[in-house]
Amino acid sequence: MDDQSARQCVKAVRWIGGSAVVDVQGDVDLSRSSEFQQSLLVVMDQKPKRIVVNLAEVPYMDSSGVASLVKLLRRARRQEVVLRLAALTDRVRSIFEITRLDGVFDIHPTVEEALA
Amino acid sequence: MSPTSEDNPSREPPVVRVIDLVKRFSGRAVLDGVNLEVLPGETMVVMGPSGCGKSTLLRHMIGSMWPDAGRVDLFGRDLGEMSEAELDQARKRFGILFQSGALFNSMTVGENVALPLREHTNLDSDTIDIIVRIKLELVGLREALDRMPAEISGGMKKRAGLARAIALDPEILFYDEPSAGLDPVTSAEIDHLIMDLSHKLGVTSVVVTHEMDSAFRIADRMAMLDCGRMLKVASRQEFEDIRDGQVGKSPASDLIRQFLRGESEGPITARRLSSGYAEDILSVGGGEPTRSESNDA
């Protein structure tokens, strides 16, 4: 295992007003997607109005990571929480495009725009 | 032909390396000292006349057949040196699309796609269900989730097979005749999928085919096998130049040109015509007629 797997998937959770900005770091793949999902569920349990998932430091996300976000989006809609993705790297953006999930998620170029 | 540094300007280590590979069936060499390197992210098309050894080469690359001499390295490791457990780990990193799609007829399309996820991961069924839908959407087949393989067309089976092949997000995809038996539109759709996976996700592809339209559409580099030997490995552009060029530059170029153009006359057919037919048919039975067997009585 590389150093990345030892690091926390969620680097920080910043609260700005009623919004939670979740800064994610490193690849989100089979070895970390479960932890990723659990961390985001913890944030959702704190009942924010909006969650912005900052993916600026995520070079790669595999299908299990994408599926974790889909599950989170399902729950967010049930709980009437706004979920936005921000600052996707080119490769991660391509994954959302090729799977046509860019039309399912609310995706923004920057965290600031996602908070606007 | 051995790969050279000119084939690999980026000098990234190859993900597949075939070195002096020899395979014999009943003493006859089906592969006779074959060399090939596949670089990360590229689409390598392996082509050649029927029976030239393409599928045998593919089987060696996926570790389902073992060489009589030479070796195949996958991800920098000799497949023949790997333990069964290491081989299993390596197999999770590549996907295979077989000619027929190779679906299990007793399972729905969705269950077929879920199979590698259930076998090789600890993901919960909800997550697997989402991934299956994503993969089926990617191949344009989400509506077939609950259908049985017997209820869908050949082209849909192939797309379902591709969805299953990419279920585990493989680094390499091996395709065995992906366009065979498909109508032109479905064939073009499969080609676009291969290109999307390569260009957008960086998946390395090895495609065995003799469908030339498809080959020229998807290839970054091409390899031409003939009678178990590697005749040429070069960029798509070089093969296009041979296809469109003049006859007579070299015997190898003439042979490649005939194959690429699909012409009925040329060195490939001349070789067949002159391959000992007279000796063969005149030796049937081994003997000459005696007077009592002849009809001149």
What count of other Cβ atoms lies within 10 Å of the Cβ of residue A75?
13
Nearest-CA residue of chain A relative to B126?
A71
And the tokens for A62?
């595999």
Q: Which of B127, B168, B192 to mutate to test the interface with A (most CBs of A within 10 A)?
A: B127
**Segment (H or E) for A114:** helix A111-115
Task: Report the gap between the CA of B17 and the closest CA in chain A (Å).
Answer: 25
Q: What pLDDT was estimated at residue B230?
A: 93
Whether residues A70 and B121 touch (CB distance < 8 A) is answered with no
Closest CA to B38 of B217, B229, B230, B242: B230
- Measured CA distances, B16 to B20, B42, B82 (Å): 13, 11, 15
Residues 29 through 88 of chain B touching chain A, CB cutoff 8 Å:
none
Give the 3-state secondary structure of residue B210.
coil
CB contact, 8 Å: A75 with chain B? no
CATH node for A3-115: 3.30.750.24
Positive or negative CA dihedral for B264, B265, B270, B271? negative
Closest by CA position to B72, among listed B269, B206, B270? B206
Sorted by where each starts, the structural domains of chain B and their CATH numbers stand as 16-93+170-287 (3.40.50.300)
Interface test with A, best of B139, B171, B201 (most A CBs within 10 A): B201
Extract the tokens encoding A45: 């349990």
Instruction: Give this prediction's pTM.
Output: 0.84
Q: Is B123 on the interface with A (CB under 8 A)?
A: yes
Phi and psi based region of residue A106 (left: phi greater than 0; alpha: psi -120 to 50; beta: remaining): beta
Cα atoms in the 13 Å half-sphere on the side-chain side of B179: 25
Per-residue pLDDT of chain B (297 residues; tens, 9 = 90+): 434 444 555 567 899 999 999 999 998 899 999 999 999 999 999 998 888 889 999 999 999 999 999 999 999 999 999 998 998 888 889 999 887 668 899 999 999 999 999 998 999 999 999 999 999 998 888 899 999 999 998 888 888 999 999 999 999 999 998 888 788 888 888 898 899 889 888 899 999 998 888 999 999 999 999 988 999 999 999 999 988 887 767 888 888 888 888 888 888 887 766 667 667 777 766 666 677 654 554
E strands within chain B? 16-25, 28-38, 43-47, 69-74, 77-78, 94-97, 172-176, 204-208, 221-226, 229-235
Tokens at B257, concatenated: 């040109």
Query: Residue A5 above 60 pLDDT?
Result: no
Strands B221-226 and B43-47 come out as parallel
Cβ-based burial of B197 (10 A; exposed 0-12, middle 13-18, buried ≥19):
buried
Spell out the domain ranges in chain A.
Answer: 3-115
Cβ contacts of A88 on chain B, cutoff 8 Å: none
User: How far lies B295's CA from each of B284, B289, B290, B292, in Å?
Assistant: 19, 10, 10, 8
User: Are B201 and A62 an interchain contact pair (Cβ–Cβ within 8 Å)?
Assistant: no
Which chain A residues touch B202 with a CB distance below 8 Å? 91
Question: Which strands make up the sheet holding A106-108, listed edge to edge?
Answer: A10-16, A19-25, A50-57, A82-86, A106-108
| Residues A46-103 pLDDT 10s | 999 999 999 999 999 999 999 999 999 999 999 999 999 999 999 999 999 988 999 9
What six digits make up the tokens of A9? 């998937």
C-alpha B237/C-alpha A113 separation (Å) is 44
Q: Are B169 and A63 in contact (CB < 8 Å)? A: yes
